[in-house]
Amino acid sequence: MRFRRPIAHLIRNQPLSRRLTRRALNDTLSILGTFWYVPALVLVAISLFATFISAGDTSTALRQSLICTVLLVLCMVINGLVRRHALKPQRGIRRYAVYSERLKNFFYTIVHLLVWLAFIELGLRVWGMSLIRFTEGDGHEVSVKLFSLAGTLLFAWLIWILSDTAVHHALTRSRKGLANARAQTMMPLIRNVLFVAIFIIALIVALANMGMNVTPLLAGAGVIGLAIGFGAQSLVADLITGLFIIIEDSLAIDDYVDVGGHLGTVEGLTIRTVRLRDIDGIVHTIPFSEIKSIKNYSREFGYAIFRVAVPASMDIDNAIKLMREVGQKMRTDPLQRRNIWSPLEFQGVESFESGNAILRARFKTAPIKQWEVSRAFNLSLKRHMDEAGLDLATPRMSIQVMTAGGGPQNE
């Protein structure tokens, strides 16, 4: 054991040309160099053990020990080649890459287990024993129960891989990538719930297959579930509502939303509440069960809408021309052009107020930038009107005065 590393270095040391051209041989030698001492220790241990058992027949014991050692080396080499093949990158549909990767690891793990089982069976046959003969003879009932237990555990592991991957794919598929808030918030909770549910179901099925009566366990689980359901209705409602809200990606961290009459920026999400900070800096914590509707101002784009009152003394076409000039100037402004995604769109005369026509127009803007664009447009429009010597529209009122000696006088 003192010379373990030098011997490993001698086994792995190969010329560069051979390492580049014969990768399979290089990988095999690398595995042998890493674990060369394990077969040696196994050979020594089996030889000593067999010598005491065989009552001095050292030649037979040594031969059997050498065969077991060769089988162990062969098993390690096969497992190393399987591991090397598993590490090869595989091309596939990117959408299902996570599924294929985890399923590939699952099946390669089964292959490793089968290789080790084959080694154990062959090693026992060298010493005159066999697992297959044991399962067909006195150990038939025990082996059936063990195989049933192993099959249940493998099937539960496969279900866990598929469900966990599906949850991970669903929660991380959003506009903010893998580090989005809903994944960080809900992933641990959903994974734990799934794991506990699959584990309990697999345990009950395994116990039932092994001949145990699981009816009391099912009755006890039902009673506990009813007690939790009646005692924590509000908490359960918060959890379920929050689960669907976050899975559907209705809101996320840094979104500007209106929920339950509270308007503000989302600062935090928990498994049962959402935390907002409004424009005055006040923090609002709202349980998910109280949220009836969500208005999200941070998705994809926004609209900056303008309602401009045109003075009665100003021609409507001149007013439209002036607003177009302001809109064009806004689109060339280095501070605003990134926030404005479309030309100024006129929607016509919306209404009449106090004798003045109300023109309606809008810009398509980046998310949450609609209010900033609106303020900049109003400021620019006021400056253009001041430069042109125009006044803002003022309310108009017609007054008719009746005099005692004559007709009406209008003002």
Q: Do 311 and 380 lie in a common domain?
A: yes
Q: Are residues 256 and 291 in the same domain?
A: yes
Q: What pLDDT score was predicted for residue 83?
A: 73
Tokens 């998310």 sit at which residue?
367
Domain with residue 280: its CATH number is 2.30.30.60
Tell me, what CATH number does 323's domain have?
A: 3.30.70.100
pTM above 0.75, yes or no: no
Q: Which two tokens stand for residue 151?
A: 């099959």
pLDDT tens-digit map of 365-409: 998 888 899 999 999 988 888 888 877 777 766 677 776 655 555
pLDDT given for residue 234 in this prediction:
74
Residue 37: both structure tokens together: 């001492």
- Give the pairing of strands 356-365 and 345-353: antiparallel
- Sign of dihedral through CA atoms 177, 179, 181, 187? positive
What mean pLDDT is predicted for residues 157-186? 68
For residue 200, being part of any structural domain is answered with no
Residue 256 counted as domain residue: yes
Helices and strands, number each (H, E), in the chain: 13, 10
Q: Are residues 292 and 309 in the same domain?
A: no
Q: What is the pLDDT of residues 42-55, one digit of tens each?
A: 666 666 666 655 55
Q: Do 323 and 359 meet the contact criterion of CB atoms below 8 Å apart?
A: yes
- 3-state helix vs strand vs coil in the chain, percent to 5: 60, 15, 25
pLDDT confidence of residue 48: 62
Are 257 and 290 part of one and the same domain?
A: yes
Judge contact between 212 and 203, C-beta under 8 A: no
Residue 214 counted as domain residue: no
Residue 353 lies in a domain: yes
- 319 shares a domain with 269: no
Amino acid 244: pLDDT: 78
On average, the pLDDT of the chain sits at: 77
Quick one: 277 and 351 in the same domain? no
Residues 331 and 371 in one domain: yes
Contacts of 277 (CB under 8 A, 6+ apart): 264, 265, 267, 283, 284
Place of tokens 């007690």: 227
Q: Is residue 62 part of a domain?
A: no
285 and 310 in a single domain? The answer is: no
> Residue 178: which pLDDT band, with cuts at 50, 70 and 90?
very low
Per residue in 55-105, pLDDT (tens digit) is 555 566 667 767 777 777 777 777 777 777 777 666 655 566 667 777 888
Question: Is residue 78 in a domain?
Answer: no
pLDDT at residue 191 above 70? yes
The per-residue pLDDT for 125 is 80
| One domain, residues 332 and 275 | no
State pLDDT tens for residues 200-248.
Answer: 888 888 888 777 777 887 787 788 777 777 766 777 777 777 777 777 7
Question: Are residues 365 and 290 part of one domain?
Answer: no
Give the pLDDT score at 173: 60
Q: State the residue range of the domain holding 370.
A: 302-388
CB contact at 8 A, 258 and 295: yes
Say yes or no: 277 and 326 in one domain: no
pLDDT on residue 228:
72
Where is average pLDDT lowest: 7-16, 158-167, 292-301? Answer: 7-16
Q: How confident is the model at residue 362 (pLDDT cuts 50, 70, 90)?
A: very high
The pLDDT of residue 177: 46
Residue 264 located in a structural domain: yes
Name the domain count of the chain. Answer: 2
What pLDDT is stored for residue 27 in this prediction? 62
- What does the alpha-carbon distance between residue 293 and residue 18 come to, in Å, rounded to a whole number? 67
- Quick check: 365 and 304 in contact, CB under 8 A? yes
For 8-22, give the DSSP string: HHHHH---HHHHHH-
Is the pLDDT assigned to residue 179 strictly greater than 50?
A: no
Q: Which pLDDT band, with edges at 50, 70 and 90, does 20 fall under? A: low
Q: Is the residue at 20 inside a domain?
A: no
More confident residue, 126 or 326: 326
Is 60 exceeded by the pLDDT of residue 126? yes
From 21-25, 105-109, 127-131, 320-324, the region with the lowest mean pLDDT: 21-25
